[in-house]
């Protein structure tokens, strides 16, 4: 009996030792990558409306001035060939239409995109293979890479909405390059305008949001009117009621300046002017006295010119 017990103990130890081998099935830890949610960009502080409904008494020129736009751009965005052909109730686009993506030359547009399902590896039985030759008789030769595979077998899943969703969850997100941070002061620099006084006369009436959208500057008929800052002439004419002979200069995407009641206009639409250039002569068109009515508009909204013009010597 004692010999039989020793025999079974040795046999048990040999069995345990045989189960412990130098090769173990690899364990792969899979984690599902979750795409990061991008934070929405903060809306701009000020921007023009998407559209505008024409009211009674509006003209294309007045709408453009009130929104800081070139009336010709406004006409082009709305396919208007005649600026006078607008009526009350008409809805105007106030921003340029977005660009339409065009296919590159030589590329063929596919009528419908198809979803391609790739094989996915699912847990299965672990198959242990010898690193030497196949001991089974009549076995077919295998590639060297196949002899080293000890992981779970791969299988192809049939197409279904559930399987497609599983594949998309397992696909790692594509890295995207972060936009460069805006440099401090860049936005302020784009809006910066160097202003000068457009006429030499004294101020007759100051800015008032309720009654006066700019400054009234005294002058005699024929006195020079100067461009208060460099820019491009976007309007030169008499199409705005109450302004007489009017010049409007666009200085950048933010600021316009207007010069009204002139007796003579010396610049044309589309012409570039420099600060201090003579653009008109003071007059009394649509006014009871000779004067220059001068406005500065920020995004179409009238602002007090005295906050932008330099101080005059006393």
Q: Output 163 or 306, whichever has higher pLDDT.
A: 306
Q: Ramachandran region of residue 106, left (φ > 0), alpha (ψ -120 to 50) or beta?
A: left
Radius of gyration of the chain (CA): 39
Residue 273 backbone zone (phi > 0: left; psi -120 to 50: alpha; other: beta): beta
Q: Which residues make Cβ contacts (< 8 Å) with residue 246, sequence separation at least 6?
A: 235, 236, 237, 238, 239, 240, 258, 259, 260, 262
Q: Is the pTM of this model over 0.95?
A: no
Percent of the chain past pLDDT 70, that is, above it, reads 55
Encode pLDDT of 231-241 as tens digits.
999 999 998 88
Nearest to 90 by CA among 102, 82, 101: 82
Say how far apart CA 302 and CA 256 lie, in whole Å.
Answer: 9
Among 39-43, 94-98, 189-193, the range scoring the smallest mean pLDDT is: 39-43
How many angstroms separate the Cα of 60 from the Cα of each of 78, 88, 240, 257, 268? 11, 11, 9, 17, 18
Distance CA 267, CA 233 (A): 7
Six token digits for residue 85: 């052909």
Q: What's phi and psi for 214, nearest 5 deg?
A: -160, -145
Phi-psi region of 300 (alpha: psi -120 to 50; beta: other; left: phi over 0): left
- Measured between alpha carbons, how far is 215 from 293 in angstroms, rounded to an integer? 6
Measured distance CA(264)–CA(222) in Å, rounded: 8
Query: Is the pLDDT at 218 greater than 80, yes or no?
Result: yes
Q: Which two tokens stand for residue 226?
A: 């100067």
> What is the structure's pLDDT at 97?
83
| Angle CA 237–60–227, to nearest 5 | 40
pLDDT digits (tens, 9 = 90+) for 74-112: 888 888 888 777 888 888 888 888 765 555 555 554 554
Helix (H, G, I), strand (E, B) or coil at 89: coil
Average per-residue pLDDT for the chain? 75
Check residue 20 and give left, alpha or beta (phi > 0: left; psi -120 to 50: alpha).
beta
pLDDT in tens, 258-290: 999 999 999 999 999 999 999 999 999 999 999
């Amino acid at each position: 009996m004692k010999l039989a017990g020793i025999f079974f103990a040795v046999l048990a130890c040999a069995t345990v030792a045989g189960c412990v081998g130098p090769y173990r099935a690899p364990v792969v830890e899979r984690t599902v990558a979750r795409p990061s949610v991008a934070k929405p960009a903060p809306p701009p502080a000020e921007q023009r409306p998407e559209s505008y409904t024409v009211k009674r008494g509006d003209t294309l020129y007045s709408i453009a001035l009130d929104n800081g736009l070139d009336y010709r751009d406004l006409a082009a965005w709305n396919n208007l060939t005649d600026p006078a052909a607008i009526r009350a109730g008409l809805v105007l686009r106030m921003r340029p239409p977005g660009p339409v993506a065009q296919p590159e030359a030589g590329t063929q547009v596919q009528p419908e995109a198809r979803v391609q399902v790739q094989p996915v590896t699912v847990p299965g039985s672990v198959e242990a293979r010898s690193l030497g030759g196949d001991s089974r008789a009549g076995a077919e030769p295998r590639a060297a890479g196949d002899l080293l595979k000890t992981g779970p077998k791969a299988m192809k899943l049939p197409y279904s909405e559930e399987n497609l969703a599983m594949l998309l969850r397992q696909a790692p997100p594509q890295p995207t390059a972060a936009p460069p941070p805006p440099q401090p002061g860049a936005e302020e620099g784009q809006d910066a305008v160097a202003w000068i006084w457009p006429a030499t006369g004294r101020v007759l009436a100051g800015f008032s949001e309720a009654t006066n959208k700019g400054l009234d500057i005294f002058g005699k008929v024929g006195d020079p009117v100067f461009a208060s800052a460099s820019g491009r002439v976007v309007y030169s004419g008499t199409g705005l009621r109450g302004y007489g002979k009017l010049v409007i200069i666009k200085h950048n995407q933010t600021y316009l300046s207007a010069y009204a009641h002139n007796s003579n206009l010396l610049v044309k639409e589309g012409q570039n002017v420099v600060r201090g250039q003579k653009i008109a002569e003071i007059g009394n068109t649509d006014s009871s006295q000779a004067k220059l009515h001068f406005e500065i508009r920020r995004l179409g909204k009238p602002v007090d010119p005295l906050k932008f013009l330099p101080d005059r010597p006393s």
